[in-house]
Structure 1
Amino acid sequence: MRPVLRLLGLRLLYFLLVFGVLTVAPLGLDLVLRVGIAFLVSMVLSFFLLRRERLEVTERVVTSVDARRERRRQSDAG
């Protein structure tokens, strides 16, 4: 569960950082536009900068699913 929380926290941090920069910068953008831009930019940043974390989460999920399948097979056979 820890890698999932770490990935979520880092993605949220990227969003907040980009949103903060857009808020401080004198661009005169509407709030909805700032949120949308921050969402898109943080998504792109997360895609490139959090690859290792995404792979770790994926490995954990696959391991968990495989373990559940194996337990289910054993309970069905026994």
Structure 2
Amino acid sequence: MLDVRFEAILRSVAELPDDLPITGEQNLRSELGIDSLVLLDLIVNLEAEYGVELRDELSADVGTVEDLWLEVSRAVTP
């Protein structure tokens, strides 16, 4: 289950419409249209919001919304 803050940041940074359902299975690139620059911006915003530091190679490793959420949640609760 996605965190409300996580979803709000995802929608804001990726400029996703409010009425677009977000699911963990969605591919960040092909389904949500998030390119590498937007993904980096998204990671920076998530790090700031949650007060964590995510792996440098994260942008190459995540494919889905759930992949990204799991990385954030792991960083928050080590």
Q: If the length of structure 1 is used for normalisation, what is the TM-score?
A: 0.35
Q: If the length of structure 2 is used for normalisation, what is the TM-score?
A: 0.35
